[in-house]
Structure 1
Amino acid sequence: MVLAGSLAGIQTLQAEEAKVLTFGIISTESSQNLKTVWMPFLDDMSAKLGMEVKPFFASDYAGIIQGMRFDKVDVAWYGNKSAMEAVDRAGGEIFAQTVDVTGNPGYWSLLLARADDDRINSVEDMLKLTGELAFGNGDPNSTSGFLVPSYYVFAKNGVDPKKAFKRMTNSSHESNFLAVANGQVDVATNNTETMARVKITHPDKVAKVKVIWKSPLIPADPIVWRKNLPERVKSKVYDFLMNYGKTGDSKETKILADLQWAPFKASSNDQLLPIRQLVLYKERVKLAKASDLSDAEKAEKIQAIDDKLSELSRRMEAISVAVAN
């Protein structure tokens, strides 16, 4: 009788929990701006799922990752780097991918400088001014604001950003854009998606900045759910996202366009493979310069990274072949 009562209690609790879904939204700009574009989407989601969908905003990416780790966040929009942290440390799983409103297969990391600063028109110009500039870096869990420039701009040029600038801050994409536009920093990281947004939210400031560097293509942002979410809820969420904006409903199309997206497509944790490569490349570059290891220790650790990189390359090649066939 006790066992039956306990099971009934668990089932009742699960039923109650299924009435509310918490959707994590990474802090690319102010919470108020994010609410403006996200609430219509979440309201539609609530209506279609038959349960309340509540937004979860945090001051940084880590807050969303931790929220998922402790089952406070059920589904979340991440960048690839933060999604990797969620998958590896917070029980997350990628099931969908955003699509750029213009149809791009991804987006690009950028470095911005003030339009009227004739000293800085390229990465080379920036690096020549060692110790003279203030730099606006991204959130440490941001793909475009931190990971991609860390590798392509700094690691590949053998530069430690902590030593390259007189001052360095970590902020959201919107804050970094405004910091450059307002002359508070000389250079800052950003991305093409945010630049499309600020043309709407801060049109008067767009002409005050210029792009001095653009990265290789970054895979479009993933949507992640916690793996222990009830299967019936996963099924509802998946069906909603896979069909949203595909029925010819002009309202849904506009809501997606306001988010700078076209309809979603299915995805998996495999979309993180090139991001994992970037992380390993960065570790390898750092390790090769390490002075606190013997040659033998360094060689052993570098070989271990090279083995992981080779395995990632094999997996990516196998996926490409499978897709081609």
Structure 2
Amino acid sequence: MIGRKVRKLVSGWLRLAVLSTVTLVVVVACTGNPEGESEVRELKFGVGPYFPTPSETRNQFEPLFQKMAASVNADADVTVTQDWVGISEALRSGTLDVAWLGPWGFVLAQHAEPSLEAIATVKYQGNPYYYSLLMTRADAPYNTLEEAIAYSQNQEQLKLSLADVGSTSGWLIPTAEFKQRNIDPKQVFDYNEGASHAAQAISVISNQTDIASDYNRNLDVLASTGKIDRSEIKIIWQSERLPNDPIAIRGGLPEKVKTGLRQAATNLSTEEAKDLLPENYTGFAASDGSNYKPIRQAGKLVGKLQ
């Protein structure tokens, strides 16, 4: 009698153990595995201050992010930051999953967190590159950077405005150019940094500064939207070709999500690009990040990377 009771009790324990194990397996199957191969229901996208206001930037980039998210059956949560340092730090820290970064922001973020990946480089007017610029007023008594340096050293000190330190074209590349010339811009000019790209050309035209950094794509936008008259400024220096902005993703995203996002960007047709991207952006070229080597070299030159 007692033996039967013991056997019955043990049998009950076994059934309970089996049921618990099955339940645990089902829960794990539904919630994903440690390698992150589960489906992602929402992706956090970010973009920096491309346009004069955050709402303009959001309106320009949100359609693309929604399409990319939909390609992997996810929703898109979009953040617009106020500076280029902020967007790269958010991706590095994992606050964002995907970001449209400036080249320097990507290099900085990947230097701090090597698991970050570039999956595509945007094309502008069909090309995956752009230029950093230094501009002044059209009637300025100098036409080249060499002449501007001499003028500021020997006649009247000129006001120089560089963009925020997270900007490729607005800070890194001009700073590297001065470094190559063995010029300290803080000594030669009445120096200021930290401006937004949207304000640079306007500050030159309105006589708030004499020389300002920018990039060709931004000047095109400002001119096409009537915010500046290109005839009021002149370019006194232009960089070599620079790789355009990357779409970058944080480490740890499931492989199928990375693949889906990469394909969504690089398979974008020219016609789709007209609907989903700002004016003159014509799609994406595939990237593994190696095309950003010139940006890394500039970062080392100015002492920001080891």
Per the shorter chain, which TM-score range?
Answer: 0.7 to 0.9
Question: 1:77 aligns to what?
Answer: 100
Aligned to 1:315: none
TM value normalised by structure 1? 0.76
Pair 164,10 (structure 1): closer, same or farther in 2 beyond 3 Å: farther
Query: Does the Cα contact within 8 Å between 1:113 and 1:212 map onto a contact in 2?
Result: yes
Is 1:33 matched up with 2:56?
yes
Which sections of structure 2, spanning at least 5 residues, go unmatched? 1-19
Aligned position for 2:119: 95
Query: Larger relative CO (CA 8 A, sep 6+): 1 or 2?
Result: 2
1:22 lines up with 2:22 in the alignment: no
Q: CA deviation at 1:181?
A: 2.1
How far apart are the structure 1 equivalents of 2:39 and 2:48?
23
Question: 2:289 maps to which residue?
Answer: 269
Larger Rg: 2
Q: Which runs of 5+ in 1 are unaligned?
A: 287-304, 309-325
Contact 2:128 2:285 in 1 (8 A): no
Take 2:216 and 2:32, find their aligned partners in 1: how far apart are those partners?
46
Q: Is the 8 A contact 2:84 2:102 kept in 1?
A: no
Q: What's the % identity of the aligned pairs?
A: 28
- Structure showing the higher helix proportion among its residues: 1
C-alpha offsets along residues 281-318 of structure 1, whole Å, 9 cap, x if unaligned?
344xx9xxxxxxxxxxxxxxxxxx9xx9xxxxxxxxxx
Residue 223 of structure 1 deviates from its aligned partner by: 1.3
Is 2:231 the counterpart of 1:207?
yes
Aligned 8 A contact 1:29 1:172 in 2 = no
Corresponding residue number in structure 2 for 1:317 = none
Using the TM superposition, name which of 136-145 and 33-42 deviates more. 33-42
Aligned to 2:4: none
Higher mean alpha-carbon deviation, 196-205 vs 233-242, is at 196-205
RMSD: 2.9
Which residue does the alignment assign to 1:11? 32
- Please show how residues 1-325 of structure 1 align to structure 2 within 5 Å: 4=24, 7=28, 10-11=31-32, 18-30=40-52, 31-90=54-113, 91-101=115-125, 103-117=126-140, 119-128=141-150, 129-130=152-153, 132-152=157-177, 154-245=178-269, 250=271, 252-255=272-275, 258-283=278-303
When residues 164 and 7 of structure 1 are mapped into structure 2, their CA distance, relative to the original with a 3 A threshold, is farther
Q: Do the aligned residues in 1 keep the contact of 2:165 with 2:193 (CA within 8 Å)?
A: no
Quick check: 1:81–1:147 contact (8 Å CA) kept in 2? yes
Encode CA deviations 1:217-251: one digit per residue, 9 max, x unaligned.
112222111121122221221121121125xxx3x
Shift of 1:9: 8.1
1:27–1:59 CA contact under 8 A, matched in 2: yes
